[in-house]
Amino acid sequence: MIIKNIKKYKSIIIYLITGIFTTVVNLTVYSVLVKYGNFNINIANIIAWISAVVFAFFTNKIFVFNSRNFKIPHLLREFALFLGGRLLTGIIEIVGFPILMFFGIDQIIFGIEGLVAKFLIGAIVVILNYFFSKYFVFKNRKVNK
């Protein structure tokens, strides 16, 4: 029963695992740039986000959605769609957070204001990213021979 469920939800499980690694990439790049590169925190954050998106693209392409076509036009098309999806969900996160706060999801947890809203909008973004990648970006899984 457990094995059957693991197989059924394999892509979601791998997506969540690669998401953890993507977060580690983001935090590591940011930390190294700020601590050792003396970068401005905003510039470091942008570079870290770009690094994480590129990492997420390839891990999603290869491990989550099993897309093996690496011909340049196909790769560029997938990356453009992936980036577009991430920009769209980034806007949703930026706009959605204050909306949730406005509607009273502004609880303080661990002394951090709005942490519940941050987690909620983050969960929504993760779900949207998965479905966008599955149904728009990596929908054609053709093996490059």
Q: In the prediction, which pLDDT does 144 show?
A: 43
What confidence category does residue 141 fall into, taking pLDDT thresholds of 50, 70 and 90?
A: low
Q: Which of 93, 21, 17 is nearest to 55 (CA)?
A: 21
CA 22 to CA 18: how far, in whole Å?
A: 6
d(CA 15, CA 129): 10
Residue 127 has pLDDT above 80, yes or no: yes
Mean pLDDT score across all residues of the chain: 91
Q: Is the pLDDT of residue 114 over 90?
A: no
Q: Between residues 107 and 36, which one has the greater pLDDT?
A: 36
Percent of the chain exceeding pLDDT 70 equals 96
